[in-house]
Amino acid sequence: GAMPGAVQMLCLAALLGALGAGGTELTLELPDSAQRCFHQEIENGIKFTLDYQVISGGHYDVDCYVEDPNGKTIYQETKKQYDSFSHHTEVKGVYTFCFSNEFSTFSHKIVYFDFQVGDEPPILPDMNNRVTALTQMESACVTIHEMLNAVIDSQTHYRLREAQDRSRAEELNGRVSYWSVGETLILFVVSIGQVMLLKSFFTEKRPSSGGAGT
């Protein structure tokens, strides 16, 4: 049978609360020859995940590195279009992750990243400590929650791809427009040159006046 309305609202509230926990998403502008760093204090023994992707600019690549509180580099990649990095902390303190566009002298980049800290909290109270099987309603909530997470991940992926494709299309459109204007100017100059050249062929040259008559 159908779940009562109050139970449905409780299940939906639990799902929405779990979806919004433990993560940060941000889209940042990264000018040429620039670097942006972010800092997060994390306890010992906690897992964090960093996902990033270049949306627009240059060859859609960026440098990225992550340092632990002792200054040790635990992740470093150069000229990556996108990547994912997960790590279980071994020391407590401030972890730093940076995006660098210092290798580029003229390309302005836009970078998206998703930084998740810790495991997702259970959507139902005492779910991890239970010794009895989940009820049909609770199993349905867990299934719906997993499906919503998959939908959110897919939507984010497609939004990023759409933004990247739009940026490439606008860049290509700009190049085509500049090339069209250049071709128009070249044709205009060539046409004027041909007219002047043909005019010079049919211009009558008057003989210069001679010496005095006899």
pLDDT at 10: 37
Here the tokens at position 172 are: 């290509």
Q: In what order do the strands lie in the sheet with 93-100?
A: 35-42, 93-100, 62-67, 73-80
pLDDT at 104: 87
Widest CA span in the chain: 136
pLDDT at 170: 82
What angle (nearest 5°) sits at the alpha carbon of residue 76, between those of residues 75 and 79? Answer: 145
pLDDT at 210: 54
CB atoms within 10 A of CB 109: 23
Is residue 68 a contact partner of residue 90, using CB atoms and an 8 Å limit? yes
Pairing of strands 82-88, 47-56: antiparallel
pLDDT at 71: 93
For the chain, give the secondary structure using H, E and C: CCCCHHHHHHHHHHHHHHHCCCEEEEEEEECCCCEEEEEEEECCCCEEEEEEEEEECCCCCEEEEEECCCCCEEEEEEEECEEEEEEECCCCEEEEEEEECCCCCCCCEEEEEEEEECCCCCCCCCCCCCCCCCCHHHHHHHHHHHHHHHHHHHHHHHHHHHHHHHHHHHHHHHHHHHHHHHHHHHHHHHHHHHHHHHHHHHCCCCCCCCCCCC
Give the closest residue to 9 by CA, choosing from 17, 200, 139: 17
Radius of gyration of the chain (CA): 32
Give the closest residue to 49 by CA, choosing from 129, 142, 119, 146: 119
Length of the chain: 214
pTM: 0.61
pLDDT mean by block of 10 residues, the chain; 214 residues: 40 39 79 92 92 88 95 94 92 95 89 86 61 70 80 79 79 87 91 85 64 50
Is residue 115 a contact partner of residue 97, using CB atoms and an 8 Å limit? yes
